[in-house]
Structures are given as structure tokens and as C-alpha cells.
Amino acid sequence: MAMDKAEADYEQASTDTNTAQTLTTAVVNATLAPYTNYTSYTSTYDSTDALIGSFLTKAYFGFMCNENRLAIFKELLSWNVSKIKAEVDENMQFFDHTI
């Protein structure tokens, strides 16, 4: 994902209802428009915090053409306490890392 560059700018409308989880999944699955020509990985959410599924990112999230997919993914992950484990079968496993 570090070599995958956005093929266009991405900006959300003020009426968008995408959550941090929706966008994280779209980036990982390569279904978000600027990254659709790249390898898709499976997203599995074993557990999540309250924020990832409810935080509406419309006013806070966007990026420019050529931005690195891994960096965008890390930005989205930074908005919650979910952790990730990349597996050998191209699966990204998300879990709530609370002690």
C-alpha cells in the first residue's frame, strides 16, 4: 500500500455520512475512487471501539492526488483505538485493543 498513489483528489461533501470505519474499509479494499486500480485486501473487524463506527469524517478527511494509500490508512486508524494485524492471506484484521 505504500507504493499506491491516489489517482485523483478526494474530498467529501458536507452531506456525506461516511464513518471512519467505512472509509478505512474502502481504502483497504481498494474501493475508494482514487485507489480502485490497486490490490484489494480483506477487512475483518473482530471488535471495534465506539468511535470508528460513529465518527463522521466529512469535515476532516480528504487528500490530494498522489497521496500514499498507506499514509491515508494510518491517518484513518489514528482517529480511534483500533489496532490492526496484517495476515499472510492478505487479510487486515481490526480489533479494539483495550486493556
8 Å CB contact between 51 and 81:
yes
In tens digits, what is the pLDDT along the chain, a chain of 99 residues?
899 999 999 998 888 888 888 999 999 999 999 999 999 998 888 766 677 777 787 778 899 999 999 999 888 888 776 777 776 667 777 767 665
In the chain, domain spans: 10-96
CATH 3.55.50 is the classification of domain 10-96: yes
- Kindly report, residue by residue over 57-80, the tens digit of the pLDDT: 777 889 999 999 999 988 888 877
8 Å CB contact between 25 and 72:
no
pTM of the predicted model as reported, rounded to 2 decimal places: 0.82
